[in-house]
Amino acid sequence: MTDARTLLLLDDDDVFASRLARALAARGFEVTRAASVAEALAHARQESPEFALVDLRLPDGHGL
């Protein structure tokens, strides 16, 4: 069993999301990335992460 806190990172900016995911992983988070609202919803329904960090402006909707 892992002590990492699970976090879903939703952002369509690949460079920004990669850097942020690495920084969060270094701080003890198990990060799963999604680049679209549809992808994030599918993951959240399947895995139910403890935390979510979301972009508010996305091509297929918004992070809220």
Q: In this predicted structure, what is the pLDDT of residue 16?
A: 97
Torsion of CA 28, 8, 48, 29, to 10 degrees: 0
The residue to which tokens 């996305």 are assigned: 58
pLDDT per residue rounded down to tens, the chain (64 residues): 467 799 999 999 999 999 999 999 999 999 999 999 999 999 999 999 999 999 998 988 887 8
DSSP SS3 for 8: strand
57/64 Cα distance (integer angstroms): 9
41/2 Cα distance (integer angstroms): 23
Q: In this predicted structure, what is the pLDDT of residue 49?
A: 96
Q: In this predicted structure, what is the pLDDT of residue 2?
A: 60
Q: In this predicted structure, what is the pLDDT of residue 62?
A: 80
Q: Is 54 left (phi over 0), alpha (psi -120 to 50) or beta?
A: beta
